[in-house]
Amino acid sequence: MDSFSIIKYKPQLKSIWDKFVANSKNATFLFERDFMDYHKGRFLDYSLMIYKNNHLFALLPANKKNSEIFSHEGLSYGGLLLKKKTEFDDVLECFKALLKFLNEQSFAKLHLKIIPKIYNELPSDEIDYLLFIVKAQISRRDLTATINNLKKVDDLSSNRKRGLKKAIKNNLVVKEVNDFEEFWNSILIPNLELKYKTKPVHSVEEIVALKNKFSKNIRQFNVYKQKDIVAGVTIFETKHVAHAQYISANEKKQELGSLDLVFNVLINDVFKGKRYFDFGISNENQGLYINSGLLSWKMSFGAQPIVHDHYIIDTNNYSLLESVLI
């Protein structure tokens, strides 16, 4: 009979963890330890490695708070990372073992934020079904705006077309750069402070350090009018998705068309070979509200909405998985 065992991640297992992530059917570079650990001082890591008959079968990137476990709160998405070749009954037993383990460790709740399906290498909906069986409750649902490049809708709004003409008239230029400080200090930080009284999730020192670790995945595109920066977009690039992590422009963006130009270049040139171009979420207050202006702006490029779900699971419900297969 197959048996599952679970151990807590420790730094000595970094190479094993990263190798699994690289070959998982539903993981991205965000789950590599060099990315997860850049802000390890902010979270109490409780990542788990799940073995089937002594062979690594799944990973749970996670942190703990009191008597509850969370899909790592320092990451945009999470969930259970699976190897490419899996049988449904094995995933069921794996998930049951995970919930039972957490329950026995006195963790009453597991907060799971599922990785959006656009990032999956292969279909990975086993957990979605199992969440139904264990009576998981949706705690949050975000709405992101995404362009499907395989079935692109030619739906660029008239405002975007006018903006592109303005950018061309103003002789704006888009450049990919390795220097993040110019965008962070001149555009991003001042804008976030002015509009939202907040700071970027990543400090400039952190994004530079991450760029050094993930040079092919983290890319910066700036827009210039002559020698002056007027806008920029930071891209997190995975195998199938180009995700706009940061978008910002100076106060003249409407008259210059700076963002219209940079997204025209990114969508139709730089990342035209990706399955998806993702603008990110437009939610506020834990998903309860949508910034309608922001969402409408993203959709004016031809993007369509997809959801990103968060769940709360009672770990004691592992027993509900014992009678699923007949």
**Of 151, 148, 143, 165, nearest in space to 264 by CA:** 165
Q: Which two tokens stand for residue 94?
A: 């794996």
Note the pLDDT tens digit of each residue in 61-96.
999 999 999 999 999 999 999 999 999 999 999 999
> What number is the average pLDDT over the span 269-277?
96
**Of 291, 307, 317, nearest in space to 145 by CA:** 307
Q: Which is it for the CA torsion 76, 80, 84, 88, positive or negative?
A: negative
According to the model, what pLDDT value does residue 53 have? 94
User: In which residue are the tokens 């007027």 written?
Assistant: 230
Q: With left for phi above 0 and alpha for psi between -120 and 50, is residue 309 left, alpha or beta?
A: beta
In the predicted structure, residue 1 carries a pLDDT above the cut 60: no
Note the pLDDT tens digit of each residue in 134-181.
999 999 999 999 999 988 777 789 999 999 999 999 999 999 999 999
> What number is the average pLDDT over the span 39-68?
95
CA dihedral angle for residue 180, residue 186, residue 189, residue 193, rounded to 10 degrees: -170
According to the model, what pLDDT value does residue 150 have? 86
Q: What is the DSSP letter of 78?
A: B
Q: Which is it for the CA torsion 209, 210, 216, 221, positive or negative?
A: negative
> What number is the average pLDDT over the span 216-244?
97
According to the model, what pLDDT value does residue 2 have? 64
Q: What is the pTM of this model?
A: 0.95
CA dihedral angle for residue 262, residue 265, residue 271, residue 273, rounded to 10 degrees: 160
HSE, side-chain direction, 13 A CA sphere, residue 218: 20
| CA atoms of 112 and 124, how far apart (whole Å) | 15
**Of 215, 285, 165, 283, nearest in space to 35 by CA:** 215
According to the model, what pLDDT value does residue 30 have? 98
Complete domains list, the chain, with CATH: 4-140+309-321 (3.40.630.30), 156-270 (3.40.630.30)
